[in-house]
């Protein structure tokens, strides 16, 4: 048995796929994985909280986990049971948390120890089943937690950020969320159609992430909130927001949030609002009306 955590993207999702840094934070929402040898030679995955029960090679989840197991050189079919607090497909890093938790459980089951970099690479092989061009950011968050700035690459660079002030976030799931692979491919397609405009947009993402790095580490929360609003606008510009995300983001701002944006791949899914002690309750109750589920988390210094 082993566990890993979900994440929120504070700044820079999608742009990170195109080589811009992003800022992510581990969430106290976990995936606990239990593994046992399969009795009939078939991979099986049970995740009651995701209403998922799948077996055999036609299942994408099975394909992802067997890609993980192959990359770990532990390819024998297993029965995997997942106890997940992270919602599936909502942009909170569920598939990466699943891959890291199952990878750790397999290594524990076989009594094998490998460096974190090798587990990261194996989890990336699993994520490629869901979308062809993952940045690796979700996996880094699932492995390490905390708040960090991430740059994709071989190897990726993850730089821990020490917050000057704790961040209180309301995370709200507005609906089921889009397919990360399709959303990432859609952004890549729009970049091909509008290369010059996209270069400007990516430069803007980069400057938002740079300013946010300074604001987070110096405790300028109002400024962090404004940068979240700008980041949401950039995500709308590259085509990954939706009407329901926009409604929730605007509702949170009107209820007093310091800032609000979609988080993760978009196309629906989750948004985050930055709140403080005076605005938290109003934002929570406003978001109740426009979302299915919400969590209030504090990211510590």
Residues 199-258 binding ligand PMV (CB under 6 A) are none
| Residue recorded with tokens 């009407």 | 243
Q: How far apart are CA 32 and CA 84, in angstroms?
A: 6
Write the DSSP string, 182-215: HHHHHHHHHHHHSHHHHHHHHHHHHHHHHHHHHH
Rounded to a whole number of angstroms, the minimum distance from the CB of residue 109 to ligand PMV is 27
Q: Which is nearer to ligand PMV, 77 or 264 (CB)?
A: 264
77 binds ligand PMV (CB under 6 A): no
Among 10-18, 50-58, 77-85, 281-289, the segment contacting ligand PMV (CB under 6 A):
10-18
Q: Which is nearer to ligand PMV, 135 or 286 (CB)?
A: 135
Among 14-22, 66-74, 104-112, 192-200, the segment contacting ligand PMV (CB under 6 A):
14-22
Q: How far apart are CA 296 and CA 6, in angstroms?
A: 14
Q: How far apart are CA 149 and CA 142, in angstroms?
A: 14
Is residue 76 helix, strand or coil?
A: coil
Which of 107, 137, 201, 216 contacts ligand PMV by CB under 6 A? 137
Nearest partner of 64 among 31, 97, 41, judged by Cα: 97
Is residue 118 helix, strand or coil?
A: helix
For residue 158, give both structure tokens.
Answer: 């993850």
Which of 184, 228, 230, 273 contacts ligand PMV by CB under 6 A? 184
Q: Which is nearer to ligand PMV, 138 or 226 (CB)?
A: 138
Would strands 44-47 and 78-84 be described as parallel, antiparallel, or unpaired?
parallel
Binding-site string for ligand PMV from residue 258 to residue 297, where x marks contact by CB under 6 A and - marks none: ------xx--------------------------------
Strand ranges in the chain using DSSP code E only, listed in sequence order = 2-11, 22-37, 44-47, 52-55, 78-84, 147-151, 157-160, 167-173, 259-263, 270-275, 293-299
Rounded to a whole number of angstroms, the minimum distance from the CB of residue 230 to ligand PMV is 17
Among 104-112, 135-143, 203-211, 286-294, the segment contacting ligand PMV (CB under 6 A):
135-143
End-to-end CA distance of the chain: 30
Q: How far apart are CA 151 and CA 158, in angstroms?
A: 7
For residue 299, give both structure tokens.
Answer: 């990211």
Residues 78-97 binding ligand PMV (CB under 6 A) are 91, 93
Rounded to a whole number of angstroms, the minimum distance from the CB of residue 185 to ligand PMV is 11
Binding-site string for ligand PMV from residue 112 to residue 131, where x marks contact by CB under 6 A and - marks none: --------------------
Cβ contact 187:131 at 8 Å: no
Among 12-20, 64-72, 224-232, 245-253, the segment contacting ligand PMV (CB under 6 A):
12-20
Active site (catalytic) residues: 138
Which of 104, 138, 234, 248 contacts ligand PMV by CB under 6 A? 138
Which of 13, 106, 148, 170 contacts ligand PMV by CB under 6 A? 13
Contact residues for ligand PMV, defined by CB under 6 A: 13-14, 16-17, 91, 93, 134-135, 137-138, 180, 184, 264-265
């Amino acid at each position: 048995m082993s566990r890993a955590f979900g994440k929120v993207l504070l700044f820079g999702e999608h742009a990170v796929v195109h080589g811009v840094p992003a800022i992510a934070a581990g969430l106290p929402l976990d995936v606990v994985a239990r593994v046992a040898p399969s009795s009939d030679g078939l991979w099986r995955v049970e995740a009651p909280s995701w209403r998922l029960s799948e077996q055999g090679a036609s299942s994408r989840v099975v394909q992802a986990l067997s890609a993980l197991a192959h990359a770990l050189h532990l390819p024998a079919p297993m029965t995997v049971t997942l106890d997940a607090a992270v919602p599936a497909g909502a942009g909170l890093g569920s598939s990466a948390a699943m891959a890291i938790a199952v990878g750790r459980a397999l290594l524990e089951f076989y009594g094998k120890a490998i460096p974190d970099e090798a587990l990261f690479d194996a989890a990336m092989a699993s994520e490629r089943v869901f979308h062809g061009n993952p940045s690796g950011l979700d996996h880094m968050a699932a492995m390490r937690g905390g708040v960090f700035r991430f740059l994709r690459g071989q190897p990726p660079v993850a730089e821990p950020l020490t917050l000057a002030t704790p961040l209180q976030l309301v995370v709200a799931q507005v609906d089921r969320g889009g397919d990360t692979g399709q959303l990432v491919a859609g952004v890549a397609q729009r970049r091909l159609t509008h290369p010059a405009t996209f270069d400007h947009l990516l430069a803007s993402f980069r400057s938002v992430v740079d300013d946010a790095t300074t604001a987070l580490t110096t405790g300028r929360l109002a400024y962090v909130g404004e940068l979240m609003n700008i980041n949401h606008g950039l995500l709308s510009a590259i085509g990954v927001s939706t009407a329901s995300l926009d409604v929730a983001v605007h509702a949170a701002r009107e209820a007093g949030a310091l800032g609000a944006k979609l988080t993760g791949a978009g196309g629906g899914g989750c948004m985050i609002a930055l709140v403080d002690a005076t605005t938290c309750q109003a934002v929570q109750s406003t978001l109740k009306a426009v979302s299915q589920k919400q969590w209030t988390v504090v990211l510590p210094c």
